[in-house]
Amino acid sequence: MARILELSEAVAELVHDGDSIAMEGFTHLIPFAAGQEIIRQGRRHLTLIRMTPDIIYDQLIGAGCADKLVFSFAGNPGVGSLHRFRDALQNSWPHALEIEEHSHAGMAARYVAGASGLPFGVLRGYVGTDLASQSDSIRQIECPFTGEVLTAVPALRPDVGIIHAQQADRRGNVGLWGMQGVQKEAILASQRSLVTVEEIVDELDPRVTVVLPTWAISAVAVAPRGAHPSYAHDYYWRDNDYYISWDEISRERSTFAAWLDSECGYAPEGVTA
């Protein structure tokens, strides 16, 4: 059974220094409130896993929470670059960031394998690209039935999976609808899990298309507008202006540090305005 906790309690209990964390939500339902709570609590040496790091991981990387990033597309969607990610990679600011880089299809296969309890996922991909030469997590495999050469990628088994959803009921069953991304797989692949929700309801809405049963989740926390500046379908829409403004906020270390201070109330060592 999922326990219904305060967000700060849930993060304190579930997320530890050095953990690998998958915070998923493909453009929709990105768990921003949880990400900022992790910054606020000063977690360090995390391995951050996410198909599209998006602004949420730009914030965590800039705040110095991450040692490693596992990803497949690191841009500010529709806007341009993730400046904190680039600063970490190109200038080791605030410290060096190791990367493990995949394609979307590869990341999806890795989550499915993790959720399925299998050691690896298989796909028709990466062949002829330079991606395989940059990572030991991309290997060729021969189909035992047809002889076709395919690509194997290791299962993702994060220490903690975190997603945002529209609703949970009072027992902690979680329901979401709209773009469903890879959230279900990320939760089921993880050892521990946290779902932030817009609200707790008596009965899940009939519009729900994905249900995660309470017994498959560690904790649920209420976080209204917890996906902002991404969106929660039928609750609020994507704040495209915020995504555009992030380009300015994040471009310089000083403006980012000022943002950290005002939004997270936190100025980690080495990250100052």
Partner 1 sequence: MTAVMDAPATTDEIMTVVAARELNNGVVCFVGIGKPSTAANLARRTHAPDIVLIYESGAIGAKPTKPPLSIGDGELAATADVVVSVPEIFTYWLQAGRVDVGFLGAAQVDRFGNINTTVVGDYDSPTTRLPGAGGAPEISTSAGEVFIMLNHSRRAFVETLDFVTSVGFATGGNSRERLGLPGGGPSVIITDIGVLRPDPVTKEFTLTALHPGRTVEEAKAATCWDLKVAETVSKTAPPSSEELRHLRALVAGEVS
Which positions touch partner 1 (CB under 8 A)? 26-28, 51-52, 71-75, 77-79, 81-82, 85-86, 89-90, 101-105, 108-109, 111-112, 123-131, 134, 148-149, 178-182, 184-185, 209, 230-231, 233, 237-238, 240, 243
Q: How far is the CB of 49 from partner 1 (least distance, A)?
A: 14
Beta strand segments in the chain, E: 3-5, 20-23, 46-49, 66-71, 75-76, 80-81, 98-101, 120-123, 139-142, 149-154, 160-169, 174-176, 192-201, 210-212, 219-222
DSSP state of 107: H
Q: Which is nearer to partner 1, 43 or 50 (CB)?
A: 50
Q: What are phi and psi of 15, to 5 degrees?
A: -110, 120
Q: How far is the CB of 51 from partner 1 (least distance, A)?
A: 7
DSSP state of 133: G
Q: How far is the CB of 7 from partner 1 (least distance, A)?
A: 24
Q: How far is the CB of 230 from partner 1 (least distance, A)?
A: 8
Rg of the Cα atoms in the chain: 18
Q: Which is nearer to partner 1, 73 or 266 (CB)?
A: 73
Element (H, E) at 205: none
Q: How far is the CB of 160 from partner 1 (least distance, A)?
A: 20
User: Which residues is 149 bridged to in the sheet?
Assistant: 142
| Furthest CA-CA distance within the chain | 60
Q: How far is the CB of 72 from partner 1 (least distance, A)?
A: 6
Q: Which is nearer to partner 1, 12 or 122 (CB)?
A: 122
Q: Which is nearer to partner 1, 8 or 92 (CB)?
A: 92
Q: Which is nearer to partner 1, 1 or 96 (CB)?
A: 96
Tokens of 24: 């998923």
Q: Which is nearer to partner 1, 5 or 49 (CB)?
A: 49
Q: What is the DSSP string of 144-189?
A: TTT--EEEEEEPP--SEEEEEEEEEETT--EEE-S--TTHHHHHHH
